Amino acid sequence: MAGADGRSSDLGTRAAIGAALAAGAILVLLLGGYVLWMLLTAGAVLALAEWAGLVKASRVRLGIGALVLLAGLICALPIIWGTDRSSVALLVIAALLIALLPRTSGIALGAAYIGTAAIAILFLREQPHGFLLSLWTLVIVWATDIGAYFAGRRFGGAKLAPAISPNKTWAGLVGGMLAAAIIGGAIAWFGHLPGPALWLGAPLAVAAQLGDLLESWMKRRVDVKDSGKILPGHGGLLDRIDGMLPVVIIVAALVANGNFR
């Protein structure tokens, strides 16, 4: 009974923290503008610090990466005013330049990846129906996580990538795709979002799972369970946003290229 109580308590903690994070994210998205920018900037720096631990970057290299990340996000401020100043391109170019320095490729990749995702959220929020569009994007990831968790526990079965993440199953992947497709499609239908939002839930769920597997692979390389300890029951911030990073980048790219209308 003690073991069961412990698992129940851990699940309760995870659920409570997850609900609080989701509520906070919705509130910040609703406020948008500089509030969103400030929270994204703080979160991006924290996530990069956790990334640095996974790639074993020194404090000096982390500092360099953080400066590049901050420069990219400062360049993204015009997005809030309704003008895109190619902040992603500047961020990636700067990251490529610091990657030329000795042993900086890992932190440069993190700065480009995390920074691009943060800018993608800013970009989505400032689109027509921006609040609903950015919320739909995040809900896709949340639905994927929840669907994968419960389907994996209920059906088990063949492992998805046992060498990287032993707990993930094919049943979990399918459950996550179904949850994302149903919930994402419902939000898109009732919110009158562009047509692709009706069917993109399942493909984006795959992207979310790939983002999760990427971080799992990085953690396995350095033999750690979590990227950090800031969130009780969840680990680090990067552990919570690993699936979100590729999804927001993909959606923002589709919107920017006119393929989401």
| pLDDT at residue 167 in the model | 86
Of all residues in the chain, the percent with pLDDT exceeding 70 is: 92
Answer for the pair 200, 255: CB distance below 8 angstroms, yes or no: no
Q: How long a stretch of residues is the chain?
A: 261
Among candidate residues 44, 51, 38, 86, the one with its CA nearest the CA of residue 67: 44
H/E stretch holding 166 reads strand 165-169
pLDDT reported for residue 47:
96
**Tokens 């999804």, residue located:** 247
**pLDDT value of position 117:** 95
pLDDT < 50 positions in the chain: 1-9
Between CA 47 and CA 50 the distance in angstroms is 5
- Dihedral of the CA atoms 37, 233, 16, 201 (nearest 10)? 60
Given this model, what pLDDT does residue 103 score? 82
Q: Say what the pLDDT of residue 12 is.
A: 72
Tell me the pTM: 0.90
pLDDT value for 52: 95
pLDDT digits (tens, 9 = 90+) for 67-122: 999 988 988 887 776 655 566 777 878 787 887 777 888 999 999 999 999 999 99
Radius of gyration of the chain (CA): 18
